[in-house]
Structure formats: structure tokens, C-alpha cells
Structure 1
């Protein structure tokens, strides 16, 4: 496909790519400015990845990115803050929210498993600049999480090496060698990487199963504690009165904390660009349809079935794992135990119970209390493994997100300097790996762990608190992304409902949700729509505004304010700057005209086709 001329815009160019001033009906000659018209490139070999990941690979990649430190750390912090009931309810309710969000994402993802999917959906159905901001936010979250995960790893190694650890071990082994190893793993071909993620994910699930079984065994009488049952559930209104005035406020804080644990359930949208068509599904289709039907369906139209299983059920899997873990932890250790992690910005009174342990994990604390030989060491090793594999997956997601944002930009002559730089990241190497995007994503925040060499790994020091603020900003960023994706689905749903006759008349495949004829190829209808989407949007806004704000209701603390709202302010600022720079309209994408909607849907189909 040749490069388009300056006075024409090919059908396959999506709406969410940069447009020059004048595309909204203005005359460029009347602007009295010299503008370089954007150049759009056709898909070619060095801008494409291999589609080799099967459904099981996608599921394990998402497991590795979701079941990390949030599982092993946050449960104990929630238990200390609001007692055993909160340890169960907060994980369960936030899990339901993540399920509702994923139902919306899944429906669109099964139709368009494309590079930069989360950004594209928002750009096409909500607002172009907002879509760019969503892509930046998503990349930031996982690139930062890679560096923060390495910093967290050092804190867990300190369980063996002592408080603040050995700086030589931390600096050389943890902060330098492990990131290099993870970069090498991510440099492997997608086939090898998928196999490694399958092995790591299986091992992680096995480790979690062992931990849960041992927690049950401890509760039934192993170790020194004897039979406990629901002994520690004697009161449902227990809470840390130094952090909140009542249990309700403490519970809202717990919901905010629990959100951190579910960051990652949407990873399947980032890895969908490398998913392969399910051969079993293709064979079933070939048996059920005539040759003429099949001639209209290429492999790109059935890739969505590979991602469907993971997208539908990963949030349910995470909800069960987190809720069960929260319940078992609350049965095995009292809510006010000294070794449970506390909010770092709450000052303890003189002589008050202060943990002497080098762990922030309730699982390790329970194992230590049980007096079962070496069980605490085993649990801590599991936690370190979870942290390392999660960091590796975070790097993968960050690189694919950056690649998806830049893979169809042209950095040719006449382009602005920032577009040329971005286009440079949208290329793959000879093995179809977005190496440039991956290296940049690894280097962007690799400096974060090295700060601990000077300030220590504990969150009581200024540097330690700075690192913790960075780590917790990721949860707020992902909730923003969730809210934007749900809004995109709501507008998409009403769009195809309003223009169903035009879509039916044009015979557009895979978007006829309301079609009632025999040939209905809509890949997935999520339940209870659009009501579920409205509930999910309200839930995301509730977390961002109410639950995150509960930390400030008693008195203003700089630490929780920065953790909860700094990225929100940055995100809004980026969106405003993009609007001003592009001189864009302050309105949502117009979805009222059927011809424009049909053209938009065709372009999304073309993006999907080009990616294969």
C-alpha cells in the first residue's frame, strides 16, 4: 500500500491518529501557520508482532501481572485497619467492580483485539485526546510498577538479611542483576515468552494453593496456636482508631487499598495484539458453516475468541483468590497484632506495639507465629517469586502499551520532532519484538529502587515514602483507565443500538449486537447491559472520589493525598495540554451520524485486519 497523498486520507487510517488543523472543516490556508501534515504509514513487517499466544498463555500472563504483592501485602494492612470483616468484604466488593469493568472491556476486545486497544476504544468512542491520555496513564502505571516491584523485592529479601538489608546485595543483585534478567526474558521471542509465563503462572497458582492450605492447617491446630475457628471474629466493628473515627470510614479506606490488588485484571487487553486465532474454534466454525460463509471470515475475525476466556473470568479468579486469602488471614491472626503492616503516615504513640519483624506480609507473620519450622522462609520465598514474576509481566505490558500507541505513526520527513521520536518506538526487531519500547519502559523508572540505597527500604523515611507514593499511584491510574473504558463501552453500546438499522444494512460483521437473524456473528454479549456498565462507572468514580478521599476526612495528610490524587491531577493536566496543543474541541466524539459511525466501525475492523 503506497503512502497517501497530502490531500487525501485513506479509509484504513483510524480517527484516533493525529489530524492536522483544518480537518474539521477549516481552510488550512486561512490559518496563517505552517503545519506539517501528518503522514500515515501502512502496516509493514517492522511494525507488526507475531500472533503466537494461545488462550492459556494470555490467562497466565494476566495471572502473573495480577497476583503480586497486592495479594501478600494488602490483606494484612486491611485487617489491621478495619478488622476481619473488612478483610473479606473489601476484596469481594472491589472484585465485583473489576468483574463489571472487565465485562465491558471483554465485549469490545472480542471484536477488536488490536494494538493499543484500551487507548483506541476511548479515542474512537469518547474523545481523541482522552484516549491518548489513557494510553500514557496505562504505560506509566506498568513501567512504574516494574521499578516499584524491584524496590518491593528488596524489602522482602530483608526478611533474611535484616532491616534495610545489605547494600551490596541490594545494589548489585536486586537492583541491577534482576532487572537485567527480566529484560533478557522479555527479549525472548513471543513463543518462548509465552511458555515462560505459562510455567511461572502455574507455579504461582501452586504457591498460592500451598499458602491457603497451610493457613487452613494452622487454623485447625498446627503449630502453637491450636484450634482458633472464628475466635478473632468476636467483634465486627474493630478498627484502627488512630487512622479513622469509625469503622465505616476505615472500611472505605480498605476498599481503596484493596483496589491496588486488582491492578492487572485488564492486562489481557494489552497482550491481545499477540494472541493467535484459536484453531479449535476455527475448526468448529468450518464444520458449521458453508464455504461462502467462511470466505468472509479471515483469521483476524476469530482472534477475539482467544482472549474471551481470560477477559471474562480472570477477575472472578482474582476475586476468589483475594477474598479467600483475606478470610483465612483474619482467622489466623488478630487484627491488632504487632506484625501486621500499618499505614506508614500514622505516627505510633510512645510504648505502643511496634513490629520487630522484617516483613510486611501477614502470611509470613502467621507462619512465624505458628512455629512450624521454616514455614515463614517458604512463605517469604513464595512472596519473592510472586514479586519477580509480577515485575516481569509489568515490563511486558508497558512495552506492548507503548508499542500499541506508536506502531502506526510515521516518523518521516516533514513530521514534528515528537512524532518522529514516538514513531521510533513503534518498530519491532527481526524477531518481531518491540525491543525499543521494551528497553525504554525498563529504563524509565529503573532508578526508583536505587533510591533505597540511601534512604532505606522502610516507608518511614522520606525516600521510602516517596517510593511508596509512586507505587500506590498505579492503582489510581488504573481506576481512571477502568472508568474511561466503561464510558467508552457505554457510548459504543448506545451508538450501535441507535444506528442498528444502518449497521444491518451495511452488513458490518461482529457489531450487530441487536441482530436477530440466523447469521449473527457478535462474539460476546456481556450480561445486564447497559445497567452493569453504569454501575461499573459509578463504582470507579466512587473509588476515585469517595474511598480515596476517606484518608483525608479526619485530617489532611500529605502522603495519602499525593498517593490518591497526584496522578488524577497529572492525568487531567495531560488531557488539557493535549486539547490546547491540538486546538481540539471540548466535546465528545460525534456518534450521531450513521455514515460516520459506519466509517468508524470499518476503520476499527481495518486496524484489526492490519494487525494480523
Structure 2
């Protein structure tokens, strides 16, 4: 491969592109049927996968409840703190995935850097979480469609069936089809947030909309009505909510194993995603807090109604009467995007578990397009089963509520696992006499970044059920903490059954699966500037998205 690469002259047109093609080919982009996954995701796909994974119903529907509980000031504090934690674990993930870009990285790193039992636990927990999330999105899709088409005209399960067939088909075609679909779905969500921000500022400035003279003026008057409402309890409650809203950012690590030139594209995606997520969430919360009083009865939106969505209410106040229809369509897109990502992430986790011998072997099979078809189909079936038990005709959906409780905290377990694995990776890297400066991407936040992530995740995992203790509520207690015993059962069960051991740092495998080409050939500065100048539309897209 090196000799073939050397046959090209730097003066030839397309030299860099040819080198990149050779690298992508070397990175398993042309694997044969049954051999493995393929690297067909571009940089723009990777960025939108990570960005889009965090923009969903938590932002569009539930963001108002944070302000209602604790006021706009505490809401800003909570989302900034969680945003800083997201930056820390994304930096940790970036260092590991650029060095060892493999699919199902969350469980693979646990197996390779610490203990196979940890990888087993993380893999199954992550698979279960996204499988149940897929079912949750099917439930939500039927509810959203009922806004336009009543259940009497068409039962909700029909729409759920249509959506699962569409999502499964997209994931069975190729990873590029998944990436392209997720790119455009995420782009719609990002554009919706941009439009909301613009409309919000125009409304605050008085350029659009009309206000009730009996209400405070949009801006500082609304914000100062109760910026720090509810005290520490209020802050802590939305601190937990904010954490759930950011879940999905780790998808960039799952997709790294199927990304072209990951040593270049993964760091780019991670650098870009953080400030964009922080911008969307922090600025959005600020606008809501400036436009809608914290004590507005509809702001809490306990029933998650489209009409009560803070986005809808700002649009309506700004004079956009079709705000509810617009937001309903955007939320439907968000649901499809989350379901699409959920099916992708869970199927790759199951594929990796199978490759490691922790799941039936047939789940590791991939077709000639690099799709783990049996893992995708099995995950779809589990999602359908969870959707079925959510129907009121089957035990009033109680089984589904428990499934949701089991999966509700698994995202934080995954984040905790990423931070812990990063510490182990860096310790093993140094213990084996390697130079940190040789890493393709170095996390400048180590070791405080992963330590901060671990502490925050532990606070959320153990503090989420604080309301169950005063007075003690058994159902609320079990709902909050039922996941944790399963985590210990999976880890220690695997450890006992397979007699696994914690790896010594010098025995950690840091080489298997790495690409044989670590460098990237770039155009010289003059050629690169001329190339960028001729593609103005790409520069605009890169600036915005």
C-alpha cells in the first residue's frame, strides 16, 4: 500500500484525494461480505450525528420545565455545568477514538483497557438503552401524528409500524444511507433552533409580535421575575434534567469505526460539536427565560403538549400563528432522528459484543455493504416488542414503564465508562513507554476532565431519586435506582462466569485494530486556500453547521 501511494506525484491533480482514497481503502472501506464494517461516513455525517443526537424532545418540549422549576438563572447554571461536563468526556472520547477508531468503542475500550467484564457490562447496558429508546420514539411518533390524524381515523400502532419499517430499511441499506439520512434530519432540527433564536431576539427587541400590557415586558423584566427560584433543590432537580437532555453526544465514538479518515474527522467533529451544543442549549434557555415568565402555568408542560412547548409559545407570541404545526413537524423529525440513531447505535453495540464473544456469533455477520443485518433486525424486533408492551391493552403499559426506568440512567453509565476508560488508556499508554505527543489527538483536560465527568455522573446516578426519600416512596425509589443492581449483576456475573481479570497496565493491548496509516497528506497552504476559495458554499456550510 505504501509503494502504491508513493507512485503519485505531488504535482498531479487530485493527489491529496488519491491518498485519502487509499487510506480509506486501507481502513476497511472495501471489506468483503461477512468481513466487517465499512468506513463510509464522511466528516459532515459525523458532525451531524453527534450534534443531532442531543437535539430532541428534551429541548423542544421539556426545556420549559427547567425554567418553571428553578427559574431562568438556575437553568443557565445547570446547562452550563452539564455542557462543561459534556466537553470533558467528549475530549476524552476524542483522544481514544482517534488513536483506536473502532465501532462499538464504548464497550471495546472497557474490554481492552480494564477488564472484559467491564466491556461486557457497558455493551449490554448501552444496547438495552438505545433499544428501549427506539421503542420510546415509536410511542412518541404515534402521539405526534395524532395531532393531525386522530386515532379513530388511523390507529397509532399503524404509524409506529410504518416508522420502524422505514428506519430498519435505512439501516439495512448501508451505513452511508444512515449517515445521509441523519445528516438531513439533524440539519432540519438545527435550522429550527436557528430560526427560533432569530425570532426570539426579534420578539424581545419588539420588532415582531404583540404583548399583553398586563404582562411584564420581554427581556430583563421577565428574566428578573424569579431568576433563582426554588433554591438548591430547584437547581439540583434541573441539573439532573439537563444531563438527560445532552445524552447522545457519545454517538460520535460509536460512528468513528465507520468513518473515513477518522484521525482527521473525529477531532474535527468533537471540536465543532461542543460549542454548537452549548450555543443551542444555553442560548435557547436564555431566550425562553427572557420571553416567558417562569410562573407561566403552561411552561412546565407536564403533559408534553405541542401547544405548551416553549418553542411554540414564543412563535405564537411573535405572531407566527402556525407555530404549533411547525414545531409538531420539527418534533416528528427529531423523533425519527432519535430512532434512526438508536437503531444504529444499538446494532453496532450488539455487533461488537458478538465480535468479542459476548453475544451469539451470528450477530457479528455483515453483508457486502458492511451492515450487521442480524444485529439490526434483532434490535428492531426488540424495539417492536417494547412498543407492544407499551400499549394500554397490555397491563396498562406498566411493563413499558419499568423498561423505561431501566434504561433512563444508562446514558450516564456510558459517559462514566468513557471517562474511566480514558484514565486507564492514558495510564497504560505511559506505562508502556509511549510518548503522549505521538497521539493523533491529545486531550488537554486530562486528568481533571475525566475525573470531573466521573464525579458529575455519580452525583446524577445516585442523586436522581432524592425526591423518593421525603417521604419515602417505594415506587419512585425503584424507578430511580432499578438500573444500578443490573449493572453490578452484569459486571460481576461476567467476571464470575468467565473468570476475567483486571488487566495490568503493561498488558493492555494498544495496537490491535489500529490503521497502518497514521498521517494525512494535505495540500500546501496556497493550494488549500485556492481550493477553499473556489468552494464558497462549503465554507458557509462549515461555518454554520
Shorter-normalised TM-score: what interval?
A: 0.7 to 0.9
Asked if residue 184 in structure 1 is aligned to residue 169 in structure 2, the reply is yes
| 3-state SS of paired residue (1:169) | coil
- CA contact under 8 A between 2:141 and 2:160: conserved in structure 1? no
> Aligned-pair distance for 1:314?
2.0
Please give the per-residue CA displacement for 1:179-214, whole angstroms capped at 9, x wherever unaligned. Answer: 111111212223333322222222221122112222
Q: Which residue of 2 aligns with 1:90?
A: 78
Q: Distance in 2 between matches of 1:608 and 1:465?
A: 52
Q: Which residue of 2 aligns with 1:276?
A: 260
Q: Which residue of 1 aligns with 2:428?
A: 495
Q: Distance in 1 between matches of 2:300 and 2:373?
A: 38
- Per the normalisation by structure 2, the TM-score is 0.81
2:337 aligned residue (389, 394, 398): 389
2:233 aligned residue (249, 259, 276): 249
| 3-state SS of paired residue (2:53) | helix
Q: Distance in 2 between matches of 1:144 and 1:426?
A: 21
Moved more, 372-381 or 254-263: 372-381
Q: Which residue of 1 aligns with 2:510?
A: 601
Please give the per-residue CA displacement for 1:522-580, whole angstroms capped at 9, x wherever unaligned. Answer: 2011113212222222122122223x133335333455434432212211121122122
Q: Which residue of 2 aligns with 1:454?
A: 392
Q: Which residue of 2 aligns with 1:193?
A: 178
Counterparts of 1:289-438 in structure 2, within 5 Å, are 303-341=262-300, 359=307, 361-368=309-316, 372-407=320-355, 409=357, 422-438=360-376
Q: Distance in 2 between matches of 1:231 and 1:560?
A: 37
| 3-state SS of paired residue (1:448) | helix
Cα distance, 1:260–1:169 mapped onto 2, change above 3 Å: farther
The runs of 5 or more residues in structure 2 that have no matched partner are 1-30, 519-545
> Aligned-pair distance for 1:62?
1.9
Please give the per-residue CA displacement for 1:285-343, whole angstroms capped at 9, x wherever unaligned. Answer: xxxxxxxxxxxxxxxxxx32222211333233212211111111112222222223366
- Give the paired residue count: 483
- CA contact under 8 A between 1:66 and 1:263: conserved in structure 2? yes
Asked if residue 564 in structure 1 is aligned to residue 497 in structure 2, the reply is no
- CA contact under 8 A between 1:219 and 1:332: conserved in structure 2? yes
- CA contact under 8 A between 2:126 and 2:414: conserved in structure 1? yes
Q: Distance in 2 between matches of 1:544 and 1:607?
A: 40
Please give the per-residue CA displacement for 1:455-490, whole angstroms capped at 9, x wherever unaligned. Answer: 79xxxxx94676566446545101111112211111
Cα distance, 1:603–1:431 mapped onto 2, change above 3 Å: closer
Q: Which residue of 1 aligns with 2:450?
A: 533
Cα distance, 1:108–1:577 mapped onto 2, change above 3 Å: same
- CA contact under 8 A between 1:470 and 1:563: conserved in structure 2? no
Q: Distance in 1 between matches of 2:517 and 2:465?
A: 40
The runs of 5 or more residues in structure 1 that have no matched partner are 1-42, 240-245, 278-302, 345-354, 410-418, 457-461, 504-511, 515-520
2:377 aligned residue (436, 439, 456): 439
Cα distance, 1:172–1:584 mapped onto 2, change above 3 Å: closer
| 3-state SS of paired residue (2:52) | helix
- CA contact under 8 A between 2:98 and 2:440: conserved in structure 1? yes
Asked if residue 583 in structure 1 is aligned to residue 542 in structure 2, the reply is no
Q: Distance in 2 between matches of 1:483 and 1:608?
A: 31
Asked if residue 486 in structure 1 is aligned to residue 419 in structure 2, the reply is yes
- CA contact under 8 A between 1:81 and 1:342: conserved in structure 2? no
Please give the per-residue CA displacement for 1:96-145, whole angstroms capped at 9, x wherever unaligned. Answer: 11110111111011100012211121122222101110011111111111
| RMSD (Å), alpha carbons | 2.8
Please give the per-residue CA displacement for 1:129-162, whole angstroms capped at 9, x wherever unaligned. Answer: 011100111111111111111212233334445x
